[in-house]
Structure 1
């Protein structure tokens, strides 16, 4: 009787383990396009939407910010990505005369890991246009 009980527990354990391995990844989902004069303080990158990804996918979040004159255009996306590898890439380019471009992307493999809320650590307008050719960081 003890052997059957142990076999039953083993079957339940294996079913639970396979169910856990088969669970899909959940990622925050959203797209936004804003034009603002102070993106580092005013922009909120949160979303209440969540999507379930296919097996083998990653969560991604990307931002493209372009500042010209007093305004900045900000395009952001969050969601599942079937392509890419786990990495963070940040590029800041400030060519003269007075244009600043920032590109950020992150690909991660934990559920809801694409959870960046705002942009202050990405947006650095104190770097004067023309003083920095470009900066690229990949983690």
Structure 2
């Protein structure tokens, strides 16, 4: 890294910084690397932007929905509209995503078994968001147009 005051604000810069700290190998180099990362970059990496999917045959991604990243990660599986449907899917050895209006404590068994949670209502302090973060389950809440 060229100077201790330099800030890393891109993914490529972060990769370069990690590679440099790995080569040096000292604890001091790792501490300097951590101190150089712009907090805004961490926020973008954890929460990202709107989810997009590139349909087959098209080179431009299409926005399917937009919401608030409540718990980081990626979940894949079949769409289940109730917590009970998640349990049924898990019984069939299928990964499941809980997709619903909002969650309540009655949904917690299904939430724990889900590979991901998506709700139409809620924010970062909603039931779905708090529970998902606590259990390390990827979640997006407040999805518009669902």
Question: Shorter-chain TM-score category?
Answer: under 0.3
Please report the TM-score for the alignment, with normalisation by the length of structure 1: 0.21
> More relative contact order in 1 or in 2 (CA 8 Å, sep 6+)?
1
Q: Whose helix fraction is larger, Structure 1's or Structure 2's?
A: 2
Please report the TM-score for the alignment, with normalisation by the length of structure 2: 0.20
